[in-house]
Amino acid sequence: MSTNNPSTSAVPGVVDPAAAGAAERNQRKVMRGIVTSNKMQKTVVVQVDRKVRHPLYEKFISKRTKLYAHDENSEAKVGDVVELAQTRPLSKMKSWRLVRIIQKAPQA
């Protein structure tokens, strides 16, 4: 009982782990934020802003999240707008990686 679907193995009901991992990788969370610090080696701190509606008063409130991201080549600078993707935990606080720099910070 073979099918053309690569995510199934020869045994019905059993999913091939390699194909399942590839499908999971496309489902990773992606965040966009501004680099606030690049003083660590291969790590940047990114501030992600979002708007949340208050449950009772229905006013939009600004919330911010501070994420630590892995920057392999140390190419992001303070003020850059970057895109991050969630990954396995790389250290105690770092479980995001830098995907790309969307917009460079203006030169001072």
Any domain includes 11: no
Q: Render pLDDT for 47-104 as a digit per residue (tens, 0 to 9).
A: 999 999 999 999 999 999 999 999 999 999 999 999 999 999 999 999 999 999 999 9
Any domain includes 85: yes
Domain count, the chain: 1
Nearest-angstrom CA–CA distance, 37 and 75: 12
Any domain includes 44: yes
CA 100 vs CA 20, 32, 83: distances in Å: 25, 10, 5
Confidence of residue 19 (pLDDT cuts 50, 70, 90): low
Closest CA to 48 of 38, 58, 62: 62
Q: Is 32 helix (H, G, I), strand (E, B) or coil?
A: strand
Looking up tokens 């701190």 gives: 45
Check which CATH number belongs to the domain holding 87 and give it.
Answer: 2.40.50.140
Any domain includes 43: yes
Any domain includes 17: no
Determine the structural domain holding residue 88 and report its residue range: 29-103
DSSP state of 105: P
pLDDT of 24 over the 80 cut? no
